[in-house]
Structure 1
Amino acid sequence: MNRALGVLAQLEAWLPPAPPAIDWTARAYRWQRRGARGWLDAIPRIAPIQLGDLQHVEQQKDTLERNTLAFLRGKPANNVLMTGARGTGKSSLVRALLDAYADQGLRLIEIDKSDLGDLSQIIELIADRPERYIVFCDDLSFEEGEAGYKALKSALDGSVASPGDNLLIYATSNRRHLMPEYMRENLEAQHQPDGEIHPGETVEEKISLSERFGLWLSFYPFAQNDYLDIVHHWLVFHGCTPDQISAARTEALQWALARGSRSGRVARQFARDWAARHV
């Protein structure tokens, strides 16, 4: 018996620790995994951003806010895929909605695409909670053979089990169809080297994931004046004077040229640098 207890103690030392208790008072969580166990890890400090900080994306902002408000009020709402240019406010918009509506019961769960196979566990964990949860996957895309692809398809639309009315999936991606598509896959009149007889159906399979998101929002690169408006907003936020903001114009354009992008992210990064040197 003592030897058996000793063996069990050694085995227990190799097992991953039990997941911590979930802090249901938190506003945002990150899905964590250790071995076969996963849990919701509360995020104590959330990067602050407000809806008013996101400029020149008014149409996308209004649409996403309307969908989120319908979700909070128990009305029909869609899962959302946001695609387009990098740094234009896709993920920031989700965080801003949390800032605006957390007091009304909105909650956020961040999940990596590698953990999308755990969506069924998340759905089970929050099934009886009164809050409304957005499961958020940033920079979503898949390569051939990744396991999370089919799990996400099933959770969006296709599983017999209902995901419940207190969960939506919001995702961002720089790629609309989420998986790479190759020219050879469209050559339906030819047999493929791998023996695929119906390559057109393979293409449809890849496109079908995007189509399971009920709402698509596209984000586009900013024009020069839009970029300068965003720079102005963040310089005011950091306490710059009108004269300092006027003097920053040329350097702001040079900054964007060096970065190869006139995005909201680049505008905010420039404003931080300028304010640090002049305020």
Structure 2
Amino acid sequence: MDTIDWTRTKAAVWRARNAHLREIRRLDPIGLDQLLGVERQKSLLCQNTERFLAGKPANNALLWGSRGTGKSSLIKALLNRYHDDGLRMIEVDKDDLVDLPDIVDDIRELPQYFVIFCDDLSFEEGESSYKPLKSVLEGSLELPPENVLIYASSNRRHLLPERMQDNDQARVHNTEIHFGDAIEEKISLSDRFGLWLSFYPISQPEYLTIVDHYFAAWEGDRKALHAEAIRFAQGRGVRSGRVARQFFNARS
């Protein structure tokens, strides 16, 4: 594995084909103040990250929920806020998680604090590539390193597909629910993330607030702008911060 100079490098991406980390030179400049409508999630993730950078116990984080609601942007914004405090980030694709233990081994003794960023993380029925992730999240014989956390975004709360028939094995004993093996296996992965942050579709007033943020310098008819923004969201079938940004890109 190629050596990265982490004193000057803020982030890297894992390239499995060549088994090396590639330095990211053009970072997404997204800032925490640009993310609207997710104040609770932002506050909790920042608190967790600050504890991590202070050498205190902190949790791996799973950001799950509706598409376009700021999950990935929030993780990327953390790097821009905290890189001067020693935060570094490594992006690893879901298909490359088999290499995760080796990546972690190479950084566990470094002085920087690393967030492994797994974007759009989910697994299909029969996939086993999540197993190396499970061992890194909670360790095996060796404890997980204190300078590495996993922050993942996903549209699925439990990361794995959930079927109606999975519930057939569930039973109740002395008022306690005991899940079947299929559900236990699926829940066991997401349970290793100590911090769960949920993201839901936003209301129309929240959507228009984000639109107004992007169009802060707009001097035209604000009511007409809102009507156009609503039609744009209806055409996409969803209201979200991502759609507000796309409307701004198309309209400005």
Q: What TM-score does the superposition give when structure 1 sets the normalisation length?
A: 0.83
Corresponding residue for residue 153 of structure 1: 134
**What runs of 5+ residues in structure 1 fail to find an aligned partner?**
1-18, 190-197
Q: In 1, distance between residues paired with 2:86 and 2:247?
A: 35
Corresponding residue for residue 31 of structure 1: 14
SS at match of 1:271: helix
Q: In 2, distance between residues paired with 1:110 and 1:245?
A: 40
Would you say 1:74 and 2:24 are equivalent positions?
no
Corresponding residue for residue 166 of structure 1: 147
Would you say 1:129 and 2:110 are equivalent positions?
yes
5 Å-filtered alignment, 1:192-207, equals 200-207=180-187
Corresponding residue for residue 11 of structure 1: none
Corresponding residue for residue 249 of structure 1: 226
Q: In 1, distance between residues paired with 2:40 and 2:96?
A: 31
Q: CA deviation at 1:230?
A: 0.5
Q: CA deviation at 1:150?
A: 1.0
- Identity in percent: 55
**What runs of 5+ residues in structure 2 fail to find an aligned partner?**
171-177
Q: CA deviation at 1:27?
A: 0.6
Q: Is the contact made by 1:56 and 1:226 (CA closer than 8 Å) also made in structure 2? A: yes
Q: Structure 1 or 2: larger helix share?
A: 1
Would you say 1:65 and 2:46 are equivalent positions?
yes
Q: In 1, distance between residues paired with 2:65 and 2:113?
A: 27
Q: CA deviation at 1:247?
A: 3.5
TM-superposition CA deviations, 1:8-41 (whole Å, max 9, x none):
xxxxxxxxxxx5442422111101112xx52211
Q: Is the contact made by 1:78 and 1:213 (CA closer than 8 Å) also made in structure 2? A: yes
Q: In 2, distance between residues paired with 1:85 and 1:78?
A: 22
Q: CA deviation at 1:243?
A: 2.5
- What code does the residue aligned with 2:200 have? Y
- What code does the residue aligned with 1:231 have? V
Would you say 1:229 and 2:209 are equivalent positions?
yes
- Give the root-mean-square deviation of aligned CA atoms: 1.7
Would you say 1:270 and 2:247 are equivalent positions?
yes
5 Å-filtered alignment, 1:42-191, equals 42-188=23-169
Q: Is the contact made by 1:235 and 1:245 (CA closer than 8 Å) also made in structure 2? A: no
Give the paired residue count. 244
- What code does the residue aligned with 1:224 have? Q
Q: In 2, distance between residues paired with 1:120 and 1:27?
A: 21
Q: CA deviation at 1:246?
A: 4.6
Corresponding residue for residue 175 of structure 2: none
- What code does the residue aligned with 2:208 have? L
Q: In 2, distance between residues paired with 1:181 and 1:167?
A: 29
TM-superposition CA deviations, 1:244-268 (whole Å, max 9, x none):
5454111000000000010000000
Q: Is the contact made by 1:55 and 1:230 (CA closer than 8 Å) also made in structure 2? A: yes
